[in-house]
Amino acid sequence: MNVGMIMGIARSTIEVMLWVSVPILGIGLLVGLIISIFQAVTQIQEVTLTFVPKIVVTFLCLIFFGPWMLNKLIQFTVNIYTNFPQWLR
């Protein structure tokens, strides 16, 4: 196993991590931005107004994107275990 292989595995790992996390983080960021604009316009500074909708949207995103995320992680894991004997040479 040489440095190029290790860097390739690390790159693949970071790539899968980003692909899996971007939908939830992106939608959470968008909802947080919309709530912040709403609070600035209405001057309502209620703490639960920021957390509850983001938690609900994050949960709904996990339900919606969960199968895709799990499939992506399973493909990555299978790829790692399948190619493991080649990397030991």
- Close Cβ partners of 79 (under 8 Å, ≥ 6 residues apart): 12
Residue 44 in 3-state DSSP? Answer: coil
**So where are the chain's domains?**
3-87
Q: What is the pLDDT of residues 28-68, one digit of tens each?
A: 999 999 999 998 898 888 878 888 999 999 999 999 999 99
- pTM (predicted TM-score): 0.79
Average pLDDT over residues 7-20: 94
Q: Tokens at residue 11, please?
A: 């790159």
Q: What is the pLDDT of residues 74-86, one digit of tens each?
A: 999 999 999 888 8
- Specify the pLDDT at position 88: 78
- Are residues 53 and 31 in contact, defined by beta-carbon separation less than 8 angstroms? yes
> Percentage of the chain surpassing pLDDT 70?
100
Q: For residue 49, what is the enclosing H or E element?
A: helix 47-87
